Amino acid sequence: MPLLKSCPAVLRKAGLAPTTIILYVGQAISFVEYFRATPPKHSRITGGQTVVVIRELRKLLKDLNRTVLGHQAMVKQAKGKRLVPREDLARGHREGAPRDPKPRYRFFGYLAAYLSAIYGHRTGVLTRMRVKEVRAAIGGDDTGYLINVMEHKTVRKFGTAQIYLEAEEYGWCRTWLRLRARTVPTNGYFFSSLGRGEAKDMARYFRGAWSRWG
Protein backbone atom coordinates (compact mmCIF):
# COMPACT_ATOMS: atom_id res chain seq x y z
CA MET A 1 0.00 0.00 0.00
CA PRO A 2 2.84 2.52 0.63
CA LEU A 3 3.91 2.10 -3.00
CA LEU A 4 0.32 2.68 -4.10
CA LYS A 5 0.08 5.90 -2.11
CA SER A 6 3.35 7.19 -3.55
CA CYS A 7 2.25 6.77 -7.19
CA PRO A 8 0.66 10.27 -7.56
CA ALA A 9 3.86 11.96 -6.36
CA VAL A 10 5.95 9.92 -8.81
CA LEU A 11 3.61 10.76 -11.71
CA ARG A 12 3.55 14.44 -10.73
CA LYS A 13 7.34 14.48 -10.65
CA ALA A 14 7.31 13.01 -14.16
CA GLY A 15 5.40 16.11 -15.31
CA LEU A 16 1.85 14.76 -15.56
CA ALA A 17 -1.03 17.16 -14.90
CA PRO A 18 -3.24 16.54 -11.83
CA THR A 19 -6.22 15.75 -14.05
CA THR A 20 -4.18 13.16 -15.97
CA ILE A 21 -3.15 11.47 -12.72
CA ILE A 22 -6.80 11.33 -11.67
CA LEU A 23 -7.60 9.71 -15.02
CA TYR A 24 -4.95 7.03 -14.43
CA VAL A 25 -6.21 6.30 -10.92
CA GLY A 26 -9.77 6.06 -12.23
CA GLN A 27 -8.67 3.60 -14.90
CA ALA A 28 -6.85 1.55 -12.25
CA ILE A 29 -10.07 1.36 -10.23
CA SER A 30 -11.99 0.20 -13.31
CA PHE A 31 -9.38 -2.49 -14.01
CA VAL A 32 -9.36 -3.87 -10.45
CA GLU A 33 -13.18 -3.87 -10.36
CA TYR A 34 -13.20 -5.81 -13.64
CA PHE A 35 -10.57 -8.21 -12.24
CA ARG A 36 -12.70 -8.77 -9.14
CA ALA A 37 -15.81 -9.45 -11.24
CA THR A 38 -14.03 -11.83 -13.68
CA PRO A 39 -10.96 -13.28 -11.91
CA PRO A 40 -8.60 -15.55 -13.89
CA LYS A 41 -9.19 -19.23 -13.21
CA HIS A 42 -5.87 -19.84 -11.44
CA SER A 43 -5.57 -16.48 -9.67
CA ARG A 44 -4.47 -16.60 -6.04
CA ILE A 45 -5.76 -13.11 -5.31
CA THR A 46 -8.84 -13.25 -3.12
CA GLY A 47 -11.94 -11.12 -3.42
CA GLY A 48 -11.12 -9.53 -0.07
CA GLN A 49 -7.71 -8.44 -1.30
CA THR A 50 -9.15 -6.76 -4.38
CA VAL A 51 -11.71 -4.98 -2.18
CA VAL A 52 -8.86 -3.57 -0.07
CA VAL A 53 -7.03 -2.34 -3.19
CA ILE A 54 -10.18 -0.73 -4.58
CA ARG A 55 -10.86 0.95 -1.23
CA GLU A 56 -7.34 2.39 -1.11
CA LEU A 57 -7.55 3.57 -4.71
CA ARG A 58 -10.85 5.32 -4.01
CA LYS A 59 -9.33 7.07 -0.98
CA LEU A 60 -6.43 8.13 -3.18
CA LEU A 61 -8.84 9.43 -5.83
CA LYS A 62 -10.78 11.41 -3.23
CA ASP A 63 -7.58 13.06 -1.97
CA LEU A 64 -6.50 13.85 -5.53
CA ASN A 65 -9.86 15.44 -6.28
CA ARG A 66 -9.35 17.80 -3.36
CA THR A 67 -5.93 18.89 -4.60
CA VAL A 68 -7.12 19.41 -8.16
CA LEU A 69 -9.66 22.09 -7.16
CA GLY A 70 -7.04 24.83 -7.40
CA HIS A 71 -5.88 23.57 -10.78
CA GLN A 72 -9.45 23.51 -12.08
CA ALA A 73 -10.09 27.02 -10.76
CA MET A 74 -7.11 28.42 -12.69
CA VAL A 75 -8.14 26.67 -15.91
CA LYS A 76 -11.70 27.91 -15.54
CA GLN A 77 -10.57 31.46 -14.85
CA ALA A 78 -8.53 31.48 -18.06
CA LYS A 79 -11.43 30.11 -20.11
CA GLY A 80 -13.92 32.43 -18.43
CA LYS A 81 -12.12 35.44 -19.89
CA ARG A 82 -13.20 34.27 -23.34
CA LEU A 83 -16.89 33.95 -22.47
CA VAL A 84 -19.61 36.41 -23.44
CA PRO A 85 -19.75 39.12 -20.71
CA ARG A 86 -22.50 38.69 -18.14
CA GLU A 87 -23.93 42.13 -18.97
CA ASP A 88 -24.40 41.17 -22.63
CA LEU A 89 -26.15 37.94 -21.64
CA ALA A 90 -28.50 39.88 -19.35
CA ARG A 91 -29.31 42.32 -22.16
CA GLY A 92 -29.98 39.43 -24.54
CA HIS A 93 -32.29 37.92 -21.96
CA ARG A 94 -34.27 41.18 -21.62
CA GLU A 95 -34.46 41.96 -25.33
CA GLY A 96 -34.74 38.42 -26.67
CA ALA A 97 -37.69 36.44 -27.93
CA PRO A 98 -40.82 35.93 -25.76
CA ARG A 99 -40.58 33.53 -22.85
CA ASP A 100 -40.32 29.84 -23.72
CA PRO A 101 -43.50 27.96 -22.73
CA LYS A 102 -41.24 25.29 -21.21
CA PRO A 103 -38.90 27.22 -18.88
CA ARG A 104 -37.60 23.94 -17.47
CA TYR A 105 -35.96 22.98 -20.76
CA ARG A 106 -34.94 26.55 -21.43
CA PHE A 107 -32.98 26.44 -18.18
CA PHE A 108 -31.44 23.12 -19.24
CA GLY A 109 -30.29 24.73 -22.48
CA TYR A 110 -28.73 27.76 -20.81
CA LEU A 111 -26.89 25.74 -18.16
CA ALA A 112 -25.72 23.13 -20.69
CA ALA A 113 -24.44 25.85 -23.03
CA TYR A 114 -22.65 27.59 -20.15
CA LEU A 115 -20.90 24.44 -18.92
CA SER A 116 -20.05 23.19 -22.41
CA ALA A 117 -18.55 26.56 -23.34
CA ILE A 118 -16.18 26.31 -20.37
CA TYR A 119 -15.29 22.63 -20.37
CA GLY A 120 -16.07 21.42 -23.88
CA HIS A 121 -18.00 18.44 -22.53
CA ARG A 122 -20.39 16.70 -24.90
CA THR A 123 -24.05 17.09 -23.99
CA GLY A 124 -24.03 13.36 -23.22
CA VAL A 125 -21.85 13.98 -20.16
CA LEU A 126 -24.33 16.53 -18.79
CA THR A 127 -27.29 14.31 -19.66
CA ARG A 128 -25.85 11.45 -17.60
CA MET A 129 -24.96 13.61 -14.59
CA ARG A 130 -26.85 12.39 -11.54
CA VAL A 131 -28.34 14.19 -8.57
CA LYS A 132 -26.19 12.21 -6.12
CA GLU A 133 -23.02 13.27 -7.99
CA VAL A 134 -23.98 16.94 -7.71
CA ARG A 135 -24.79 16.58 -4.02
CA ALA A 136 -21.51 14.72 -3.43
CA ALA A 137 -19.43 17.50 -5.01
CA ILE A 138 -16.07 17.95 -3.30
CA GLY A 139 -15.09 21.35 -1.92
CA GLY A 140 -16.75 24.35 -0.33
CA ASP A 141 -17.75 27.96 -0.88
CA ASP A 142 -14.15 29.14 -0.46
CA THR A 143 -12.53 26.68 -2.86
CA GLY A 144 -15.38 25.94 -5.26
CA TYR A 145 -16.99 22.58 -5.97
CA LEU A 146 -15.81 19.65 -8.10
CA ILE A 147 -18.45 17.33 -9.56
CA ASN A 148 -17.36 13.90 -10.82
CA VAL A 149 -19.61 12.40 -13.51
CA MET A 150 -18.94 8.66 -13.36
CA GLU A 151 -21.12 7.42 -16.22
CA HIS A 152 -20.79 8.72 -19.76
CA LYS A 153 -20.04 7.45 -23.26
CA THR A 154 -16.24 7.78 -23.20
CA VAL A 155 -15.59 6.93 -19.54
CA ARG A 156 -13.48 3.88 -20.46
CA LYS A 157 -11.17 5.97 -22.61
CA PHE A 158 -11.06 9.28 -20.76
CA GLY A 159 -12.17 8.39 -17.24
CA THR A 160 -14.39 10.41 -14.93
CA ALA A 161 -15.67 13.69 -16.37
CA GLN A 162 -15.14 16.63 -14.02
CA ILE A 163 -17.01 19.90 -13.70
CA TYR A 164 -15.67 22.67 -11.45
CA LEU A 165 -18.20 25.22 -10.19
CA GLU A 166 -17.69 28.36 -8.16
CA ALA A 167 -19.90 28.86 -5.12
CA GLU A 168 -22.45 30.99 -7.00
CA GLU A 169 -22.67 28.48 -9.86
CA TYR A 170 -23.08 25.57 -7.48
CA GLY A 171 -25.84 27.60 -5.85
CA TRP A 172 -27.75 27.45 -9.16
CA CYS A 173 -27.56 23.66 -8.96
CA ARG A 174 -28.80 23.67 -5.38
CA THR A 175 -31.75 25.86 -6.36
CA TRP A 176 -32.65 23.51 -9.21
CA LEU A 177 -32.44 20.45 -6.95
CA ARG A 178 -34.84 22.15 -4.54
CA LEU A 179 -37.29 23.01 -7.33
CA ARG A 180 -37.16 19.65 -9.11
CA ALA A 181 -37.97 17.84 -5.86
CA ARG A 182 -41.55 19.10 -6.24
CA THR A 183 -42.11 17.35 -9.58
CA VAL A 184 -39.68 14.45 -10.07
CA PRO A 185 -38.34 13.58 -6.60
CA THR A 186 -37.48 9.98 -7.56
CA ASN A 187 -35.71 10.73 -10.85
CA GLY A 188 -31.97 10.27 -10.32
CA TYR A 189 -30.77 12.47 -13.18
CA PHE A 190 -29.89 16.13 -12.63
CA PHE A 191 -31.21 17.08 -16.09
CA SER A 192 -34.34 14.99 -15.80
CA SER A 193 -37.36 14.34 -17.94
CA LEU A 194 -40.80 14.47 -16.36
CA GLY A 195 -40.67 10.67 -16.15
CA ARG A 196 -37.91 8.39 -14.91
CA GLY A 197 -35.12 9.01 -17.40
CA GLU A 198 -32.75 11.77 -18.37
CA ALA A 199 -33.65 14.73 -20.60
CA LYS A 200 -33.66 13.37 -24.16
CA ASP A 201 -33.16 16.52 -26.25
CA MET A 202 -30.27 18.29 -24.53
CA ALA A 203 -28.63 19.10 -27.88
CA ARG A 204 -31.82 20.87 -29.00
CA TYR A 205 -32.12 22.79 -25.72
CA PHE A 206 -28.44 23.75 -26.09
CA ARG A 207 -28.94 25.03 -29.65
CA GLY A 208 -32.03 26.97 -28.58
CA ALA A 209 -30.14 28.74 -25.80
CA TRP A 210 -27.19 29.43 -28.07
CA SER A 211 -29.39 30.97 -30.76
CA ARG A 212 -31.13 33.20 -28.18
CA TRP A 213 -27.71 34.42 -27.06
CA GLY A 214 -27.04 35.43 -30.66
Residue extents of the structural domains in the chain: 2-72, 86-213
Tell me the pLDDT tens digit for each residue of 38-56: 888 888 888 888 998 889 8
Nearest to 19 by CA among 171, 146, 131: 146
Q: How confident is the model at residue 96 (pLDDT cuts 50, 70, 90)?
A: low
Tell me the pLDDT tens digit for each residue of 108-157: 888 888 888 877 777 778 888 899 999 999 888 988 999 988 876 666 66
Residue 100 pLDDT greater than 60, yes or no:
no
114 versus 90: the higher-pLDDT residue is: 114
Give the per-residue SS3 of the chain. CHHHHHHHHHHHHCCCCHHHHHHHHHHHHHHHHHHHHCCCCCCCCCHHHHHHHHHHHHHHHHHHHHHHHHHHHHHHHHHHCCCCCHHHHHHHHHHCCCCCCCHHHHHHHHHHHHHHHHHCCCHHHHHHCEHHHHHCCEEECCCEEEEEECCCCCHHHHCCEEEEECHHHHHHHHHHHHHHCCCCCCCCECCECCCCCECCCHHHHHHHHHHHHC
